[in-house]
Amino acid sequence: MSRNPATRSTRLRRSVLSVPAINPRALEKTHAVDCDAVIFDLEDSVAPEKKVEARENLRRFFSDRPLENKERIIRINGLSTDFGSADMELVTALGPDAVLLPKVDEPQDVTDISDLLAEAYAPDDLRIWAMIETPRGILNAAAITEAGRTPGSRLDCLVVGLNDLRKETGVPAQPGRGYLVPWLMQVVLAVSAYGLDAIDSVFNDFRDEQGFDAECRQGRAMGFAGKMLIHPAQIEPANRYFGPSAEEIAEAEAIITAFADPASAGLNVINSGGRMVERLHLVQAEALVHKARLISARKPA
């Protein structure tokens, strides 16, 4: 069921900015920032007595001026809460690109939302993102992604939430995230098996530039598609670290050119710049160049 990595995602998700729906000024600023995606948060960043106001803020924002060139995701409250049903009504009314479910523990959580969207006749391109932020969510990551690839499911992306996971496990917030790396890699492995994307967790101190850079480098090396952000100052470095470098693009283009040579026809292994490369490297090169083209296409004129 996994898709070709070169065409796995038609969207960029290097920088995913979370914005509290209760803050109209922050909502308006999303038009000007250069992130790939925006999560409009109705959950953790909105106090219970402000939930109705936050929904109305989003309703006005979506109707006033469309958010262009960015993926739009609405994070709802859990369906078991007093606010989840009203949040889902708003999602189906506004038609964002995706709905983000908090604290997904098991496949049924995704199936239930898929069924609700189908019952509401939501368009097929309204996708589901899942927050993996509990011990059960980590343990069930593979089952969740597998269920998300069944017919009728809309699952498209997993987002790791380390703040809640640290709280539930007692693992401290330390540089390098040493004790958390096995859990992070478990999520990356799950999405890779079924052709989805994974977004790395937020970095809480937006003033710590060196710490953020190090975590971006780590997340990119792990295989995350991008990072969830809490402040616009984090957008540029996230775009840089989770996007291909000029050197990587040049190397990928050289591999593609080498395999396009008629002399390489029918060969699974060739010499490219003094290095032996296989056709699996061609697939990786095509994926990287595809991503570079998406980045180039979304840059302001």
Asked if 41 contacts 15 with a C-beta cutoff of 8 angstroms, the reply is: no
Residue 86 has pLDDT above 50, yes or no: yes
222 and 253 co-located in one domain: no
pLDDT, residue 297, reads 86
3-state helix, strand, coil in the chain (%, to 5): 50, 15, 35
CA–CA separation, 27 and 33 (whole Å): 11
Q: Would you say 87 is a known binding-site residue? A: no
pLDDT, residue 295, reads 92
- Percent with pLDDT over 90 in the chain: 81
pTM of the model: 0.92
**The domain spanning residue 17 has which CATH number?**
3.20.20.60
188 and 262 co-located in one domain: no
251 and 222 co-located in one domain: no
DSSP state of 190: H
DSSP state of 2: P
CA–CA separation, 252 and 37 (whole Å): 26
Q: Would you say 3 is a known binding-site residue? A: no
Q: Nearest CA to 224 among 270, 252, 190, 175?
A: 190
Residue type, position 151, single letter: P
Tell me which of 217, 242, 267 is where a domain ends.
242
Q: How confident is the model at residue 177 (pLDDT cuts 50, 70, 90)?
A: very high
Residue 20 has pLDDT above 80, yes or no: yes
Residue 72 has pLDDT above 50, yes or no: yes
148 and 277 co-located in one domain: no
Average pLDDT value for the chain = 92
79 and 216 co-located in one domain: yes
Q: How confident is the model at residue 30 (pLDDT cuts 50, 70, 90)?
A: very high
**pLDDT tens per residue, range 179-217:** 999 999 999 999 999 999 999 999 999 999 999 999 999
Burial class (CB in 10 A: 0-12, 13-18, 19+), 24: middle
- Percent with pLDDT over 70 in the chain: 96
Count of structural domains, the chain: 2
282 and 189 co-located in one domain: no
Q: Would you say 133 is a known binding-site residue? A: yes
Q: Nearest CA to 199 among 132, 298, 146, 154?
A: 132
Angle at Cα 47 formed by Cα 42 and Cα 53, nearest 5°?
60
Return the beta strands (E) in the chain as ranges: 15-20, 37-41, 71-75, 98-101, 127-132, 155-160, 197-200, 226-229, 269-272, 275-278
Tell me which of 242, 258, 274 is where a domain ends.
242
pLDDT, residue 64, reads 92
Q: How confident is the model at residue 267 (pLDDT cuts 50, 70, 90)?
A: confident
CA–CA separation, 183 and 249 (whole Å): 30
192 and 291 co-located in one domain: no
Higher pLDDT, 195 or 19: 19
182 and 273 co-located in one domain: no
Residue 1 has pLDDT above 50, yes or no: no
pLDDT, residue 171, reads 96
Burial class (CB in 10 A: 0-12, 13-18, 19+), 253: middle
Residue 46 has pLDDT above 70, yes or no: yes
**pLDDT tens per residue, range 219-232:** 999 999 999 999 99
81 and 201 co-located in one domain: yes
Q: How confident is the model at residue 300 (pLDDT cuts 50, 70, 90)?
A: low
230 and 174 co-located in one domain: yes
pLDDT, residue 150, reads 83
Q: What is the DSSP string of 63-90?
A: HHS---SSEEEEEPPPTTSSSHHHHHHH
Core vs surface per residue 166-190: b (16+ CB within 10 A) or e? beeeeeeeeeebeebeebbeebbeb
State the residue range of the domain holding 293.
Answer: 246-298
221 and 293 co-located in one domain: no
Exposure of 61 in the CB half-sphere (CA atoms within 13 A): 28
216 and 145 co-located in one domain: yes
pLDDT, residue 301, reads 37
pLDDT, residue 10, reads 67
pLDDT, residue 275, reads 84
Tell me which of 199, 225, 242 is where a domain ends.
242
